[in-house]
Structures are given as structure tokens and as C-alpha cells.
A and B are shown apart, each in its own frame.
Chain A
């Protein structure tokens, strides 16, 4: 009897100790309620998001001189699977490449992106009178991260390997090299310290093209040893060298002690992918990262008032636009394209999605670029009456079905939602088609999208960099807008103007050419501009040395950055 009682007592004790399902549910409900009330009370007490403007801060001002040491944890948009710069693998890969790379030239140290290029591996150069022949003198005593010397042969090897199937590093499908190879007639090394590049026709932007990410100069020894393995290990001669690359996750770089300008200030950079904006924001808030060049726009007004953070924003050099595939009905109808253009409220996009970090656009040539024509801004103003008139003139029955394709990351889904609302208000029926980055480009460049949404940054600081999307040899002209087959006369005329604009070396004579190009774009609207985006960068308050202009594009060089 006493044994039985003991067992019962034990069972009761176990029953008490174990949480019943009912008690668990009760507890969960209670806890959730408490947390909810506490959080919401706190949130409602907080001020609403302030006016969305991000004045450029001078990040370069520091009381004391640069300090040595420290680590930057860099929140990239995402990290691709391969470091091969001849392929597009996302901005995160570009961020890694730019900080380990040595190019023949580099952006101007003023931080103003459109200022003349400066020498990097090239110590000096001369340009022939006809503008076709560039002779570069290689900087002596530069070494790659593996200790081998930087010489003319290394430059020639690196700038030809992407078009040479016999090179051991070659992989099928490399295409980003066209920036500096499409107009190149020859490249030779008459001696160890001289490189001669001959062009088919003059190119006003060629010195800029030589610091395109795909033009990174790599150690020939590493190309021979790693072969296609350079996809996970690039050996160049830049300020930082790669110590570890985890595809899809992060790259780790450390200061290169033998860098020709002396060891950079930082000890280490970790460039980590945060494809989810919420996760990135949490990492910024928690101090898990101290450098974020792709922060959610919604957080910028608050972060500007956070004393532990610093926000800088440069010029609005990033174009946000819709591309209309003129081969796919109903976008083959010019009135439909014009109706779309007039239906969209750019003011709403800039205010509600970009939180004020943008400007009303004109055309593909941006406000900081040569040949910018502000008169194009008139056509970017919403005009519902004109939109409806063009719908009527199109002769199509409403609602006109149309599919908008866009990447499912960053601010694109919010953009798409607003655009859908605007278009449906004037007589379209919009289907939203969100794609991951890889699928997006596959679909768009295959010409399978109707209306797609995209951006173009100023990697090569020349007006040609953006309008070249309409050059008939580009995949964008064939697939994204389809003008090569859809608007053949327009395409042929555009090719003539693009060639003329690129080969004209006198800036004053280039301006009317780009004016004509912009007028043509506004007339046919293969691209419908949405905004000139001012890309903000958030960093910890002790990060110094990054000039606002240098943060304006996705090319983020941390060579002169230090931690205070």
C-alpha cells in the first residue's frame, strides 16, 4: 500500500513538473500578449519616421589623422557563388573584387566619380593624336599578393584571358569584358614595363573602362596554378588580399603589407551577404556590421539621428527605370509605352519607396554626367489625362493586360506595387512577376519579359555607360528592350549616335550628340525612367575616410578608410 502511494505521489509530482499542453497554450497566450503590449506601447510612443532626406555628410573629416588597425564588417547586398569578374555575380562580389584588385587605372582620388581617371598599375600613359593608341608605363616595384612582380605581361594576360579560350582560367559565358574589349584592336607588351592598347575607334571613356571590375589585373602565376579555381581565389595587387571566400556567404580580406602605397589603415574587411533587408537592418542596429552601403531606405531617416551611426549619400548617379520590350505586345505600341510613362507618379516612388533619396528623372543620362538634359524631366511628371489619351489612342481594349517583372529583393517589390496601382488607375491590368536575381536576368535578356524594372549605376563615369544599353550589340538591346528587331530604324540610328558620341573626344562636341540620343529615347520610350537614386551608405560613427562621392555607386573602395 505504501509502495502504491509512493508511486502515485511520484506520478503526481511528474504531472506537476511536466507542462501540460493546455498550460503551455495558456502560457504562450499570456506571454505573447505581454510582449505585444510592451512592444507596441514602445513603438507608438516613438516618433513617426521623420522627413525623408539624407543630406550628404562629410565622412572624411576626422579630428585626428588616420589610425591603423581595426576591422570593417561590410554588409553586402548578397554574395554570389563565384569571384570570376567576367561574370555578373551580384554587387557583393564586386565589393570584394574592388578591395583586392589592382586595375590599370582607378577613379579619381577626389572622390568625384566623374573626375578624370588616375593611374593605378599604370604609372603614366600617352594617347596618340588620333585617340586610338594608348601607351601605358607600368608602375615599377609593384607586386601581386603572391609576391610575384606586376609587369606588362601580367597586364596583357589579364586583359586578354577572358577572350582567350586557351587560357586555363577561361570559362564559357564570360561577357563583362566587352566594356574594354569590344572596341580593342590589339594589346601588346613591347617590353616588361610598357603596354600598348590600340582601339578600332577613339573612345572618350576608355581610361574609365580600364577600372571596370572585369578588368582586374591578376597574377599570372595564380592563373596558371588556380586555373578556373580563381572563382574562389583572386590574386591581384590591391590594398587588401583575400584570405577566405565562402561562396554565397562572405569574403574575408586582410591588409596587404607590400601594397605599393603602403599598408592600408584597416587590418581586415569581412564582406558578408545580407540578401534580406530585415536581417541587414537588425545587423546594423545590433552593431554586428559597421559598414552598410545597401541599407533599407526606410531606416535612413532614423539612422541619421542615431549618434552611433553615420549616413552619407553622394550624387544621384543610379538610374532606376522600366524597360519596355518592344517586341512583346502591347509594348510594341508606342502609345502604350507613353501611357505607362505618364501614368506613374515618380514623386510617390521617391517619397514612399526611396524615402526621399532620389530625384525626378529626365532620361538615361544622369544629372552629374556629360550631356545631361534637364528638359527631359517634364515628361517624367505624372499626367493622368495624357496617360488616358494615349490609352485611347492605342486602339486597345481596356484593361490592357501587362506583366511587370522585377527582382524580389531590395525596394523593387514596393516599387512594383506602386507602379501597379498607378497603371491600373488608367486602364492597365498588371500582373506582378517577382524573380530572384538570376532568374530575372535570364528572363529579361531572353526577351521573355514584357515590362521589366532595373537599375543602371555609373560604373564607367561617362554618359556612354548608360545609353550603351541601346547599342545593338548589347544583350539588353536584343532582349531587355528588343529594339534591334522591334525598332530596327531606331536601333540603327542609335548605333550611329552611340559610336559618334563615344569616339568624339571633345566634351563640347559630345554634348549635342547625347542630347539627340536622349531625345530619341524620350520619343520612343524603350526605357521609362523612374528616378535618379541617391544611394545611401550607413556606417558606424567611428568609420572615417570615405568620401561621399565615393559611396555614390556600388564601387566601394575602402583603401583610405580607417576606424577612429
Chain B
């Protein structure tokens, strides 16, 4: 027994290891992909935030004699057809994408959770009304909905955030409603109501805290989708205005050069791919930690 306390046997959780697993740090323990994903995402965020200090060149400075230079020591990612340094542009180019995706996921989570909790808690006609509206929104493919909204409102980061937020709200609302429906019949909620707690208090103290973990997992999954959406909108010319560096826009501008200067669309495309993958890895680890029944699935 003393051996068990000092060193865990394979497959057996000791009280110490259980406590450790309950901490957020355990998400990364024994899960290299999650560590890799989280680390890379952090790296991307730091690089983009610190781009003005880290970037070796001005990302919008046109230098025609240096155009279409292949990757070299002077320009590790090469230059584009206007002679701009691609490394610097990639370092700056995640800013609009990350800003758009993070803010839109946050906004969609807040709005979707509010809708889902209200619908699930109140039920009846309110539930019906909200869920039918959500059904209507879900009947449009999310990317199409986002494109329609941006095309109506006009291009720009703010409108892209609105568009992506609207396209993600139904998913959060559905999740929040389903979880609320299961929570409102749980014993602790019934007990709280029995002792006279108000509806607002029940929601704030007993339902929302229990919604948070699964919603965080959902938000991570949605962040990957939001990054792809934001890049797609920029690719279609519905995001930021040139010459502002933006990964999606850079891929779009470089697609004509795919046979002649592959590095122009390649590096921003790689940045999008790796960032989306990193977010997925992180989301995978979060899901494992917060929903162990799905581990290894």
C-alpha cells in the first residue's frame, strides 16, 4: 500500500494524481499535442502582438526592385510582387484574423449562452420562439451566412466580427439550451428553487457555472472555425483593406503566383493551417480534461 501512495501504478489514480488532474495544468500533462497546440497558439499571439518590435521590415513598404525574391537570409519567407517582406507581413497578418475570431467567438458565446439558457430555463413558448429562430439561422450554411452578412453590411474587421458572431450564435445557443434542460431537473437546482432562490440566482449561481466547462470546449472548437471563416472572408476580399497584412488576403493575392512564386501564398496559408490545427489540438486536450468520457475518441 505504501508503494501505491509513493508511486502510482499504471491505470490507478491516487488521491494526489486525481487532485493534479483537476488542475488546469493537467490539460497539458501527458498530452504532447495539446501542449504543442497551446504553445504554438501562444507563440502566434505573442508574435502578432509584438510584431512592431519583432518584424524585420515594414510590412507595407513597397520595394519594387526586391519583388518576388525567393526565401533567403535577407527575406526568410521571400518577398511578394511589390517587394514587401513576407516574414514581416505574416507576423502582422494574424492580427486581423485573431482579433476577428477571438472577439466573434466571445460575442457568440455570450449571446448564444444567453439565448440557450433563457430558452432552456423558461421553456414553453419562449423556448419555441428562440429555437425556431435558431433553426432558421442554422438552415443557412455558416460560411454562406457570414458572407451574406458582410456583403450586406460592407467589408471591414467590425463587420466581419458581426458576421462570424451571427454564424456561430446558433451552435452556442443549442449547446447551452441542451445543458440547461438537463441541469434544471438536477437535485441541486430543485433544492435551490425549493428554498426560495430566484430564477436569476438559480441561473447565476447554479446553472451558468456548470455550463462553463463544456462551453469553453465548444468555444475552442469554434475558434478554429472562426479563424478559418475570418481567413475565408479576407480571401474573398470581404475582410481588411489592402495593403493591411492579413493571412487570408495574402493567400488570395498570392494564388495567381502559385506556379511562379509559391512562397507568396504558401507562408500565410501555412500560418492559417498551423494556427487552426493548434487550436484544434488545444480544444482536443480541453475536451479530454473536461469530458473524460470522450477521451481517446
Contact = CB atoms under 8 A, between A and B. Distances in A.
Contacts of B258: 278, 281
Nearest to B243: A417
15 contacts: A20-B296, A22-B33, A22-B297, A29-B277, A32-B277, A48-B70, A278-B258, A281-B259, A299-B260, A301-B260, A414-B253, A416-B242, A417-B242, A431-B241, A434-B237
Which bucket holds chain A's interface residue count?
Answer: 35 or more
Nearest to B82: A352
B62 A348 contact: yes
B237 A39 contact: no
A28 interface: yes
Interface string A25-62: 11011001000100110111010110000000000000
B213 interface: no
Interface stretch (B8-16, B114-122, B202-210, B262-270): B262-270
A519 interface: no
A108 interface: no
Contacts of B256: 277-278, 281, 296, 298-299
B160 to A, nearest CB: 15
Given A42-B262, A408-B237, 18 more contacts: A21-B297, A25-B33, A32-B277, A36-B266, A43-B262, A43-B263, A44-B262, A49-B68, A277-B255, A277-B256, A298-B256, A299-B259, A351-B64, A416-B242, A417-B243, A421-B82, A431-B241, A432-B241
Contacts of B57: none
A25 B280 contact: yes
Contact of B255 (A21, A26, A278, A413): A278
B242 A413 contact: yes
B242 A348 contact: no
Interface in B45-92: 60, 62, 64, 67-71, 81-83
Contacts of B64: 348, 351-352
Contacts of A44: 70-71, 262-263
A351 B81 CA distance: 10
Contacts of A277: 255-256
A112 B297 CA distance: 70
A285 interface: yes
A352 B67 contact: yes
Given A26-B33, A29-B277, A298-B81, A49 B242 contact: no
A40 B262 contact: yes
Contact of B263 (A40, A417, A418): A40
Contacts of A36: 266, 270, 273
Interface in A351-407: 351-353
Consensus secondary structure, chain B interface: loop
Nearest to A413: B242
Nearest to B262: A43
A434 B238 CA distance: 10
A299 B81 CA distance: 12
Interface residues of B, number: 35
A277 B253 CA distance: 10
A420 interface: yes
Interface string B232-256: 0000010001110000000001011
B117 to A, nearest CB: 28
Nearest to A417: B242
Nearest to B60: A421
Given A48-B68, A348-B62, A420 B260 contact: no
Contacts of B266: 36, 39-40, 43
A63 B82 CA distance: 42
Residue picked from B69, B241, B259, B296, most chain A C-beta under 10 Å: B259
Contacts of B81: 298, 352-353, 414
A48 B281 CA distance: 37
Interface in A469-493: none
B261 A48 contact: yes
Contacts of B273: 32, 36
B149 interface: no
Contacts of B242: 413, 416-417, 420, 432
Interface string B23-34: 000000000010
B284 A421 contact: no
A302 B260 contact: yes
B111 interface: no
Contacts of B192: none
Contacts of B284: 21-22, 25
Contacts of A299: 256, 259-260
Contacts of A29: 277
A382 to B, nearest CB: 12
B152 to A, nearest CB: 14
Nearest to A20: B297
Interface string A337-360: 000000000001001110000000
Interface in A283-310: 285, 296, 298-299, 301-302
Given A21-B297, A352-B67, A417 B259 contact: no
Contacts of A285: 259
A68 B112 CA distance: 66
Nearest to B62: A421
B103 interface: no
Nearest to A300: B260
Nearest to A422: B62
**Among all A-B residue pairs, the 9 with the closest Cβ atoms:** A43-B262, A278-B255, A417-B242, A296-B256, A277-B256, A348-B64, A49-B260, A298-B256, A49-B68
Contacts of A431: 241
A42 B71 CA distance: 12
B257 A298 contact: yes
A417 B256 CA distance: 16
Contacts of A413: 237, 242, 253
Contact of A43 (B67, B261, B277, B296): B261
A420 B243 CA distance: 9
Nearest to A408: B237
B82 A418 contact: yes
Contact of A48 (B69, B82, B280): B69
B186 to A, nearest CB: 29
B82 A417 contact: yes
Contacts of A28: 277
B25 to A, nearest CB: 20
A49 B263 CA distance: 12
Contacts of A21: 284, 297
A353 B62 CA distance: 13
Contacts of A32: 273, 277
A22 B68 CA distance: 38
B211 to A, nearest CB: 23
B249 to A, nearest CB: 10
Contacts of A408: 237
A302 B256 CA distance: 13
